[in-house]
Structure 1
Amino acid sequence: MSHHVTNRSQSSSSQPPVVQKLTDDPVNPKNAQSSVTCVYQSHIGGYWRNVTVIWSKNLMNHSVTLTVDSVESDYHQTCKIDLKPWHFWAKKGYKTFEVDGNQLEAYWDLRSAKFSGSPEPCSDFYVALVSEEEVVLLLGDYKKKAYKKTKSRPALVDALLFYKKEHVFGKKSFSTRAKFDQRKQESDIVVESSTTGPRDPEMWISIDGIVLIHIKNLQWKFRGNETVLVNKQPVQVFWDVHAWLFCSPGSGHGLFIFKPGASEDDSDKEGSSVGGGSDCSDQSKYYSTLSYSKSSPFCLFLYAWKIE
């Protein structure tokens, strides 16, 4: 059977849409569902394909879903794993499914997985996707256990994470993790805000415990962007928190975008404010930054939902 190898740039054009409303109703603790969406490019069946991994959790359910794109049609094959807290056995398992005639095998072990407020575990687990006795996608730090369980060899080229989207719920603080350089460890990102009280609203954005952006008079600077340095690497940060200040609680979210690389325009380094022409329709002027993720090896979208 002959195979064809497509390049990464062709595959990345089929990224998932950025604009995705979580719910039409105001958000409250009962219907709040945290989710983390990661899109990887992995070499499967002779093609570079997008593999979408979605971790989601609410009061009743916790799951991880793997979706592999087809190159022959618009049909995508999905493998869903329910991590039922009352079933120990459900946290370790094995499933098979097919994409374009290629058999894929999903293995997972999350019995000892540790979490830090996100539906995506941070350590002591693995999720492996195998094709033709090759581990084409491997998540987690239990790599030796994964290779032993799957009896498969490592991929010749590692899967590449190029897109991450996370919905986080909180009152004043929102945190996530991202790897801005594939050769280095993940960075801890924390967004903190003070939007109520007698003082003018403020916002702080910290990376690895260092406050890199401090916005005073947030009511006038609720939209903006700056370029910061993380481990001597420039990272562009965009924010839009109009909904935090001018919409009813739970009806909208703050949006933060983190994109490695220097800004094309030096004037973009300074934070800017936009007044007027705004509403609470859950739209942002920075939704157009989907184009940024196509030209960069990675882009993070953080949706911060305030729960009063």
Structure 2
Amino acid sequence: MDILNTLFPRIADPINVLKKDKIESMYQITSSRTQLMSYTQPPPLAEKLTDDLVTQKTAQSTVTCVYQTHIGGYWRNVTVLWCKNIMNHSVTISVDSVESDYHNSCKIDLKPWHFWSKKGYKIFDVDGNQVEVYWDLRSAKFSGGPEPCSDFYVALVSEEEVVLLLGDYSKKVYKRTKSKPALVEAVLFYKKEHVFNKKCFSTRARFDQTVSEEHEIVVESSTAGPRDPEMWISIDGIVVIHIRSLQWKFRGNETVMVNKLPVQVLWDVHAWLFCIPGSGHGLFIFKPGAPESDSDKEESSRGGDSDCSSSNSRYYSTLSHSKASEFCLFLYAWKLE
């Protein structure tokens, strides 16, 4: 149990560890569980709501996706934040600057009374480079969360290239923007989602970033009643992890197979069992790839990233760029009464 306790220190926003001048070292998650967890701490939202219990009225579902894109000669972080509560529904797109800590951003409101902004176009400047944002969310379909699942697009255009494309309306994007696809596609390497519900929490993720297929992830629990607490984690409708006697196994990790791809799953649901509902969250981490052996860890600690070692390089190779971008999903599950 002491070992498991070291896996789940307090959780910090992983974005704080991203370094713009060395993209290759920004988010190299290894299978060392202690190192994996060192990237995380409770986000500001969770810290803020610790004293005030979260309710249906105050719950704010969010999905944060961080991409690596090539804009103005540099690899940059582009953060897409989908946010929904009882009053507002919006998406905010932020692009990192390599010259300062300033983040250039564009916010789009999706509420019905902002109908005119469900299709639009904006321009903003990033280190002297013009970036255009196009969106069409008029027919967007949602599956309960703040992020749409189909019939929409949000696109970033720089130097007549679509450097980031979200949604399934790609043909409409290229026709409207009169731009070409980027030489190297944007890479999603980090996703964080806050979900609020009573017993069931769901999200979607692509474990293999080279294919478009998304997997449906569902976490269900039974923590009340005469029986011992239980928890189920399903992927694409198949239960891959079933935990009985959850009060003794509220922290743990397993590696499961999803379409022949190993996926590491880590969980900590201490707050579900021993805290007041709405005062804390369960945490689930999904990282594609098998755990590294001790020899792999020793080899990786020696270096081996000579092709990306220079912080002055304006453009990394596709190979080195993809090596630096290991996708990871963080699911924060908040139980409500």
Choose from 230, 239, 244 the match for 1:216.
Answer: 244
Deviation at 1:8, TM superposition (A): 4.2
Structure 2 distance, partners of 1:11, 1:239, is 23
Matches within 5 A, 1:212-251: 212-251=240-279
Secondary structure of 1:31's counterpart equals coil
Choose from 288, 311, 315 the match for 1:260.
Answer: 288
Structure 2 distance, partners of 1:138, 1:156, is 13
Return closer, same or farther for 1:18/1:135 CA change in 2, 3 Å cut-off.
Answer: farther
Matches within 5 A, 1:143-222: 143-184=170-211, 185-222=213-250
Deviation at 1:12, TM superposition (A): 4.5
2:44 maps to which residue?
21
Structure 1 distance, partners of 2:197, 2:169, is 30
Matches within 5 A, 1:70-81: 70-81=97-108
1:291 maps to which residue?
none
Q: Size of the alignment, in residue pairs?
A: 275
How well do the aligned residues superpose, as a CA RMSD in angstroms?
Answer: 1.9
Secondary structure of 1:118's counterpart equals coil
Matches within 5 A, 1:85-104: 85-104=112-131
Residue range with higher mean Cα deviation, 245-254 or 147-156: 147-156
Structure 2 distance, partners of 1:17, 1:235, is 19
Q: Which has the higher helix share?
A: 2
Structure 1 distance, partners of 2:256, 2:293, is 14
In the TM superposition, what whole-angstrom CA distance separates every residue of 1:195-221 from its partner, at most 9, and x where no partner exists? 000100000000011000000000000
1:307 maps to which residue?
336
Return closer, same or farther for 1:158/1:18 CA change in 2, 3 Å cut-off.
Answer: farther
Structure 1 gaps of 5+ residues are 1-5, 267-293
Amino acid at match of 1:165: K
In the TM superposition, what whole-angstrom CA distance separates every residue of 1:101-153 from its partner, at most 9, and x where no partner exists? 01110000000000001100000000000111111000000000011111111
1:137 maps to which residue?
164
Secondary structure of 2:175's counterpart equals helix
* % identical aligned pairs: 77
Secondary structure of 2:150's counterpart equals coil
Residue range with higher mean Cα deviation, 84-93 or 189-198: 84-93
Deviation at 1:193, TM superposition (A): 0.3
Contact 2:25/2:324 (<8 A) preserved: no
Contact 2:23/2:324 (<8 A) preserved: no
Deviation at 1:263, TM superposition (A): 1.2
Structure 2 distance, partners of 1:295, 1:78, is 25
Amino acid at match of 2:43: Q
TM-score (norm 1): 0.86
Structure 1 distance, partners of 2:129, 2:44, is 33
Structure 1 distance, partners of 2:44, 2:224, is 26
In the TM superposition, what whole-angstrom CA distance separates every residue of 1:172-191 from its partner, at most 9, and x where no partner exists? 00000000002330100000
Contact 1:7/1:48 (<8 A) preserved: no
Q: Which has the higher contact order (CA 8 A, sep 6+)?
A: 2
Amino acid at match of 1:127: V
Structure 2 distance, partners of 1:153, 1:246, is 53
Structure 2 gaps of 5+ residues are 1-20, 29-38, 295-322
Q: Are 1:31 and 2:31 counterparts?
A: no
Deviation at 1:19, TM superposition (A): 3.3
Q: Are 1:298 and 2:321 counterparts?
A: no
2:24 maps to which residue?
9
Structure 2 distance, partners of 1:18, 1:147, is 39
Deviation at 1:84, TM superposition (A): 2.1
Contact 1:177/1:187 (<8 A) preserved: yes
Matches within 5 A, 1:272-283: none
Which of structure 1's runs of 4+ aligned residues deviate more than 4 A?
Answer: 10-13
Return closer, same or farther for 1:192/1:265 CA change in 2, 3 Å cut-off.
Answer: farther
Q: Are 1:115 and 2:142 counterparts?
A: yes
